Structure 1
Amino acid sequence: MYLPRAFAETDLAALDALFDRDAFVTLITVRDGAPEIAHLPVLYRRDGQRIDLQGHWAAANPQAAHAGPAVAVVHGPHAYVSAGWYPDKQPAARVPTWNYAVAHLHGTLETFREEAALAALVDALSAHYEARVGGDWRFDFGREEERRQLRGIVGFRLQVERAELKFKLSQNHPEPNRRAVAERLQALGGEAAEVAALMRERERGA
């Protein structure tokens, strides 16, 4: 990932926040020189510098045959920034841009098909995501009909060896520009307001 120093984020608490916001990742592998890409929810665990992701594919997904190098892309909020918002737009000949937060997690994939491990994974995934929507579905380990469904999936673990976090939030602009952009994004609401919040967090921490 192209990562200018001004936009590099080194605090892994920022990665925790990205996953807390949205743990639906893009998983990229390469087979025979061509990329294979999947979009799927994961369980995220971090212990200090150690990062681990777990999830599963449909068994019919060609990526489920992959073990080895992989990259997981974690998507944060993003928003268009108009050049017209900058106070110095005329003298500095400003142009439009895009502000965003994203992480690339490089590591090694391991796959598993053992029933007990898959059942534990599905149960953990459902417990995590059901709680977010007020649901109560849980995997029933004692029900053969549910255990049979496990034959249709392949589990994976991604042991992360390198984490790259890019938080492009107008850090390369003077303070009046940053303040003006944050105000305009906040007024737009939704995801743009999330970007504004990240910008203001960094202003407070500067």
Structure 2
Amino acid sequence: MYTPRAFAETELVHLDALVAADPFVTLVTIGADGAPFASHLPVLYRREGDRVLVEGHWAKPNPQAQHAGPALMIVRGPHAYVSPGWYPDKEAAARVPTWNYAVAHLSGTLQPFSDEDALADLVSRLSDRFEAGVGQTWRFEPDRDDHRRQLRGIVGFRFEPGRIELKFKLNQNHPVANRVSVADALSRSDAPDARAVATLMRDRLD
């Protein structure tokens, strides 16, 4: 990922926040034919110090479920269009449109697994995590045969990234007056992503 120094983040708390806000990731691998292949998946994320562990599963027919090796995981943060009309120096500096955003790229090795007990544990934790988010109470019941049979249709994975890149492109290369003006404009938007970008921009002004 192209990341100018002004936009690079190194603190992993920012990755924590991105995944907490949007745990639906893009997982990219290279197939046997040399072509890239992408899956879009909900994941569980855990960090202890500098060590990150991401877990999830594929449907068994997904070709990526046979991949044990290098992978790129993309975690998307908020993003928003920025109009040059919002810059106080728009005429003097001949400003042009741009896009502000936050994103993380995690590079590492996928470790697929099909052990039934491990899959049962994973599905239990996934359902607990996401059911709570919508105020529901469905749970995976490992003692039910009909629930355990469903595990035959999936393959789990663990992913420990060896390299983490965080890019927060938030007008850091502009004068403070421009950054304040853009954050103010985005905060008035009806789009949740735009308001989230405004919050990130203001965090970096403090």
TM-score range, shorter chain: over 0.9
C-alpha displacement at 1:111, in angstroms? 0.4
Identical counterparts, % of pairs: 63
C-alpha displacement at 1:191, in angstroms? 1.2
Q: Deviations over 1:103-161 (max 9, x none)?
A: 00000000000110000000000011111111111110100001000000000011110
In structure 1, distance between residues paired with 2:194 and 2:20:
18
The SS at the match of 2:204 is helix
In structure 2, distance between residues paired with 1:79 and 1:58:
33
RMSD after superposition:
0.6
Q: Deviations over 1:43-102 (max 9, x none)?
A: 001000000100000001011010100010000000000011111010100000000000
Does 2:79 align with 1:85? no
Does 2:20 align with 1:3? no
The SS at the match of 2:205 is helix
Aligned to 2:118: 117
Does 2:175 align with 1:174? yes
In structure 2, distance between residues paired with 1:70 and 1:85:
39
Aligned to 2:63: 62
The SS at the match of 1:170 is coil
What are structure 1's unaligned runs of at least 5 residues?
A: none
- Within the candidate set 166, 173, 194, 1:192 is matched to 194
Code of the aligned partner of 1:22 = D
In structure 2, distance between residues paired with 1:74 and 1:26:
7
Q: Deviations over 1:148-196 (max 9, x none)?
A: 0000000001111010000000000000100000000000132100000
C-alpha displacement at 1:33, in angstroms? 1.1
What are structure 2's unaligned runs of at least 5 residues?
A: none
- Normalising to structure 1: TM-score of the pair? 0.98
Q: Write out aligned runs for 1:27-66 (5 A).
A: 27-31=27-31, 32-66=33-67
Code of the aligned partner of 1:45 = R
Aligned to 2:20: 20
The SS at the match of 1:188 is coil
- Normalising to structure 2: TM-score of the pair? 0.98
In structure 2, distance between residues paired with 1:119 and 1:36:
27
